[in-house]
Amino acid sequence: MSYVADSSTADGDFTRDTAYIDTRITADGRDGYPVEPGRYRLVVARACPWANRTIIVRRLLGLEDALSIGFCGPTHDERSWTFDLDPEGVDPVLGIHYLRDAYNKRIPDYPKGVTVPAVVDVARGQVVTNDFAQITLDFSTEWTAYHRDGAPQLYPERWRAEIDEVSQRVYTEINNGVYRCGFAGSQKAYERAYDRLFTALDWLSERLADQRYLVGDTITEADVRLFTTLARFDAVYHGHFKANRSKLAEMPVLWAYARDLFQTPGFGDTTDFVQIKQHYYIVHTDINPTRVVPKGPDLANWLTPHGRESLGGRPFGDGTPPGPPREAERVPAAHSAG
| Helices H / strands E in the chain, number of each | 9, 6
Same domain (yes/no): 164, 281: yes
Task: Write down the pLDDT at residue 6.
Answer: 57
Contacts of 29 (CB under 8 A, 6+ apart): 35
* Whether residue 75 is found in the same domain as residue 162: no
Domain total for the chain?
2
Any domain includes 1: no
Asked if residue 163 and residue 303 are part of one domain, the reply reads yes
Judge if 182 and 298 occupy the same domain: yes
The pLDDT tens digits for 47-84 are 999 999 999 999 999 999 999 999 999 998 778 999 99
Query: Does residue 151 fall inside a structural domain?
Result: no
Q: Distance between CA atoms of 304 and 38, rounded to whole angstroms?
A: 39
Q: Give yes or no: residues 209 and 328 share one domain.
A: yes
Go through 94-130 and write b for each residue having 16 or more CB atoms within 10 A of its CB, e for each that does not: bebbbbbbbbbbbeeebeebbbbbbbbbbeebbbbbb
**Structural domain contains residue 242:** yes
User: Is 153 a member of any domain?
Assistant: no
Q: What are the binding residues for glutathione?
A: 81
40, 155, 179, 281: which one is catalytic? 179
Asked if residue 243 and residue 106 are part of one domain, the reply reads no
Asked whether the beta carbons of 209 and 249 are under 8 A apart, the reply is: no
- CA-CA distance, 317 to 247, in Å (whole number)? 31
* pLDDT score, position 88: 95
Active site (annotated) includes residue 48 = yes
Q: In 3D, which of 153, 155, 144, 152 has the Cα closest to residue 66?
A: 144
Domain end (from 124, 146, 168)? 146
Residues annotated in a binding site: 81
Strands (E), 51-106: 68-71
Give residue 79's pLDDT.
80
Q: Which of 48, 72, 155, 281 is catalytic?
A: 48
**Do residues 97 and 184 share a domain?**
no
**Which of the listed residues 113, 146, 179 is the one where a domain comes to its end?**
146
For residue 136, tell me if it sits in a domain. yes
Q: Determine the Cα–Cα distance for residues 59 and 12; give it in Å rounded to an integer.
A: 39
Question: Is residue 328 domain-shared with residue 189, that is, in the same domain?
Answer: yes
> Among 216, 219, 238, which Cα is nearest to 227's?
219
Give the CATH number of the domain where residue 252 resides: 1.20.1050.10
* Structural domain harbouring 287: 158-335
Tens digit of each residue's pLDDT (9 = 90 or more) over 187-204 = 999 999 999 999 999 999
Residues 187 and 263 both lie in one domain: yes
Residues 252 and 201 in one domain: yes
Residue 72: active-site member: no
Looking at residue 78, its pLDDT comes to: 76
Q: What CATH number has the domain bearing residue 128?
A: 3.40.30.10
The answer to whether position 22 is within a domain reads yes
The last residue of a domain, from among 83, 115, 146: 146
Give me the residues of the chain with pLDDT under 70, please.
1-10, 338
**Which pTM was predicted?**
0.96
Domain presence at residue 304: yes
What CA–CA distance (Å, rounded) separates 81 from 1?
10
| Residue 255 lies inside a defined structural domain of this protein | yes
Residues 312 and 181 in one domain: yes
- Specify whether 220 is located in the same domain as 98: no
